[in-house]
Amino acid sequence: MDSFILYNCARYLQNVNVFSALRLGDVFNTLSASSITAGYIRSPVKPYIPYIPNPLRCFNCQRFEHSKVACRGQLTCSNCGIAGHSANGCKANPHCFHCKQDHSSDSQDCPQLKTEKKIQEIKIKQNITYAEAKNLISQEKTPSY
């Protein structure tokens, strides 16, 4: 869970940075005038947090970036990650389709899900496409071997 906490801290700090950057911009003017006196903030104003939707995960094939409606993949069990059956009634041990670890494919602890969330966040904050954001992430994580 430590990495999850760190992730949230990093997220928070990022939001603070975004907020300080935005203070210089037009968005500052849209903040409630009553909470701002002589150019500084008297009472705590909620930091500006852009809405980051959860990564889209297909309930059919478990892959990200599309919904079940648009799915062209194979029905894959979200519990054991094996194609050909649904998680309904699956008694197998959890096995993640994405990262191959011992959790179900819809687990919030999945590192792949965290990466997808990061991509969403960068995509929205920097107003770039999914592919561009993914590219940024993969450059960040270039293995050092």
> Contact letters (x/-) for Zn ion, 97-126, by CB under 5 A?
-xx-x--------x----------------
| Helix ranges restricted to H, the chain | 2-23, 26-30, 111-125, 130-140
Binding part of the chain for Zn ion, among 20-28, 31-39, 67-75, 134-142 by CB under 5 A, reads 67-75
Maximal C-alpha separation, the chain: 64
Number of neighbouring beta carbons within 10 Å of residue 76: 23
Name the burial class of residue 52, with classes exposed (0-12), middle (13-18) and buried (19+) by CB atoms within 10 angstroms of its CB. middle
Q: Binding Zn ion by CB under 5 A: which of 45, 90, 128, 136?
A: 90
Instruction: State in angstroms the smallest separation of the CB of 9 from Zn ion.
Output: 22
Q: Which chain residues interact with Zn ion by CB under 5 A?
A: 58, 60-61, 71, 73, 77, 79-80, 90, 92, 96, 98-99, 101, 110
